[in-house]
Amino acid sequence: MIGTFSIAELGHYALVLALVLMLVQSTVPLLGLYWRDQRLVAVSGSTPIAGFILVGIAFAALTAAYVASDFSVRNVWENSHSAKPMLYKVTGVWGNHEGSMLLWVLILALFGALVAAFGANLPSTLRARVIAVQGWIGTAFLLFVLLTSNPFERIHPPPLEGRDLNPILQDIGLAIHPPLLYVGYVGFSIAFAFAVAALMERRIDAAWARWVRPWTLAAWVFLTGGIAMGSYWAYYELGWGGWWFWDPVENASFMPWLAGTALLHSAVVMEKRGALKVWTILLAILTFSLSLLGTFLVRSGVLTSVHAFATDPSRGVFILAILVAFIGGALALFAWRAPDLKQGGLFAPISREGALVFNNLFLVTATATVLIGTLYPLALEAVTGQKISVGAPFFNLTFGPLMVPLLMALPFGPLLAWKRADLYGATQRLGVAMIAALVAAVITYVVAGGKGVLAPLALGLGVWLIAGSLVDLAERIQFLRAPVRTSWARFVGLPRSALGTVVAHAGVGAMVIGIVGTSVYQTEEIVSLNPGESVDVAGYTLLFQGMSPVTGPNYREDRAQFLASRGGAEPFSMTPSKRFYMAREMATTEAAIETIGFSQLYVSLGDEIEGGTVAVRASYKPLVTLIWLGALVTSIGGALSLTDRRLRIGAPKPAAARQPKAASA
């Protein structure tokens, strides 16, 4: 059967058909609303699901072509190789421009289908509009894929061997990082669609914030995980142990995260108090706009160089057109309709609302900072041709100081009451956390040998966040103020969203500790070693035993053998290596990492390997894993909040039915 017809062609057709259904989805529900015809509106319930299945077929067909090494498909030939391990044949599907855009569209279609399938708690008019807006985005991106980045282009006659996947991407990270990131990016399209739909309806109330919340939260949870995964991947694969580079591609994913975090918090105010409506709608539009901008920056080739843009202008111009149409259109609609919106509840500056406004101010300013740092060099190069690099120093000087007041204020937020709050009372209750933070700072100062004051204080800030979260939890369950049984009962009955807040904020604290620990207290040795020589780093002795060649499925490897031990304790072996991928003639560095508690010993080989001598970079990174563990905990906090009963999907039903359950818990 295979060989007589191409499965890729079936996928190609399914993708074209999905485009046609997206067109239906974009128009028919709106016509139904215009003509007040319920049945036409109901088309918005079935088409997104069919569209998702069709894009799924297309994606499966491309995957099948990769698995079978069908090099008559240009995309497979360009990015695969018959000797590549099966995992990378599959992940290679999205390890390239065309395939990753197909994944983008697949996730977009998935979210449309989810709204159609689980949006029963939404008013039918709002749901139809959300799905139609989602259809516009889907149509634009399907056209982009089919016309400028078609993964189903064929070659005849087919070449016998493929060009292989960029070896840096041949890693388990490719299996996890892009899908997570894209679910996050694309998930914000739902918040965008909700915002545009609400502006079209001219009806925006507190209920809207609750409806949009689970979608925003889900996208945010995945984006958090995706960014953290990407950071860890860069850390162990790029070979010099950095975990964040302020690289434009990273910033492209970080900006929607910052704006999305602001959105999550402002939506809480809107839901509880009906305030900040206009602002929340604007944030929803901006968050997805930043996702689109990120896609544009990464996918048009603008980032590698302004000139790479010119090599394939059709793609860049196409995404730019999508960007202008959606961002410009949504902002124009916003400008037109926002003045009609009624303002909601009032509040004093010192209140939960006030704290969340504070949060939003700082997060949005931080987003703007990152945006400027990312776009300014591009704009400058485009206008004057001058190349400058805005690197870590710029961001450390701007982004860092913005984060400090935000993080210092963070533990107060959950302790403040709505409307007007008692700051003095909150400070009193946080006294324990302040003491814990100061103790941690003093201990760090002493352990570090009395060098520097800022770093111990920064570490104390992390402890402050964790302890502050615990205080919030203790307050909620009246820990030590009520009998243990009562506290336990309150803990069990605690709304998941409150628990999620505690966990997510504590995760941020862990991240801060990890960042400070590894940035300030890392020790590193860069030496050349002959077999038999050793290097000492942070009390560990690394004995270099020699190099040995290893042959992998599609690469050769020079593996260095190290025996590491601390003060004569049981030694363990570490084997950093250099890999050489034959098909692309590219080398990669594989670092050896040993995790000790929350800290890591990191050994990688330098560029020069000659006559048995190796250049070695050995570093001890205290508490480094807390960076990613903290992000993971934060992400789990979001997921916990997502399981809150308020957000569970359900059609309207009598509220009384829920009361007994809460009482019995």
Partner 1 sequence: MLLWTLIVLLTAAAIVAVLAPLRHAPRAAASDAHARQVYRDQLDELERDKAEGRVSAADAEATRAEIARRLIALDSEPDAEPQTAGSPALRRTILVAAVAGIPALSFSLYVMLGAPNLPGAPLSARLEAPSGSSDIEVLVARTEQHLARNPEDGRGWEVIAPVYLRLGRPDDSVRAFRNAIRILGSTAGREIRLGEAIWAAENGIVTADARAAFEEAHRLDPAAPQPRFFLAIAAQQEGNTDEARQWLNALLADTPADASWRPAVVAALAELGVTDIPPGTQPETPAEAPRGPSEADVAAAQQMSSEDRMAMIEGMVSGLAARLESEPDDAEGWIRLIRSYVVLGQSDAAADAARAALAGVSDNGDRQRVEALIADLGVTPAAEATQ
Least CB distance from residue 198 to partner 1, whole Å? 12
Least CB distance from residue 212 to partner 1, whole Å? 12
Backbone dihedral region for residue 42 (phi beyond 0: left; psi -120 to 50: alpha; all else: beta): alpha
The letter for the amino acid at 467 is A
Between 387 and 646, name the residue whose CB sits nearer to partner 1: 646
State the Cα–Cα distance between residues 518 and 277, nearest whole angstrom. Answer: 41
How many CA atoms does the CB half-sphere of 489 hold within 13 Å? 9
Least CB distance from residue 32 to partner 1, whole Å? 8
Between 459 and 640, name the residue whose CB sits nearer to partner 1: 640
State the Cα–Cα distance between residues 611 and 607, nearest whole angstrom. Answer: 13
CA 596 vs. chain centroid, Å, equals 27
Least CB distance from residue 622 to partner 1, whole Å? 39
Between 45 and 167, name the residue whose CB sits nearer to partner 1: 45
Least CB distance from residue 156 to partner 1, whole Å? 6
State the Cα–Cα distance between residues 609 and 607, nearest whole angstrom. Answer: 6
State the Cα–Cα distance between residues 640 and 505, nearest whole angstrom. Answer: 13
Residue with tokens 């059609």: 651
State the Cα–Cα distance between residues 234 and 620, nearest whole angstrom. Answer: 17
State the Cα–Cα distance between residues 397 and 97, nearest whole angstrom. Answer: 34
Between 342 and 567, name the residue whose CB sits nearer to partner 1: 342
Which spans in 274-391 are helix H?
Answer: 277-299, 306-311, 313-323, 329-337, 352-384
Between 393 and 650, name the residue whose CB sits nearer to partner 1: 650
Backbone dihedral region for residue 570 (phi beyond 0: left; psi -120 to 50: alpha; all else: beta): beta
Between 245 and 418, name the residue whose CB sits nearer to partner 1: 418
What is the Cα Rg of the chain in Å? Answer: 27
Between 199 and 538, name the residue whose CB sits nearer to partner 1: 199
Between 7 and 510, name the residue whose CB sits nearer to partner 1: 7
As given in the structure block, the two tokens for residue 276 are 């900040």
Report whether 412 contacts 426 (CB < 8 A): yes
Between 154 and 621, name the residue whose CB sits nearer to partner 1: 154
Question: What CA dihedral angle connects 261, 266, 272 and 276, to 10 degrees?
Answer: -170
CA dihedral sign of residues 601, 607, 608, 609: positive
Least CB distance from residue 47 to partner 1, whole Å? 6
Least CB distance from residue 73 to partner 1, whole Å? 8
Between 450 and 652, name the residue whose CB sits nearer to partner 1: 652
Least CB distance from residue 444 to partner 1, whole Å? 35
State the Cα–Cα distance between residues 374 and 248, nearest whole angstrom. Answer: 6
Least CB distance from residue 45 to partner 1, whole Å? 6
Q: Which residues are within 8 A (CB) of 620 and not within 5 positions of it... i.e. 6 or more apart? A: 522, 523, 524, 537, 538, 539, 540, 599, 600, 601, 602
Please tell me what DSSP assigns to residue 342: P
Least CB distance from residue 246 to partner 1, whole Å? 34
State the Cα–Cα distance between residues 523 and 195, nearest whole angstrom. Answer: 49
Between 61 and 234, name the residue whose CB sits nearer to partner 1: 61
Least CB distance from residue 27 to partner 1, whole Å? 11
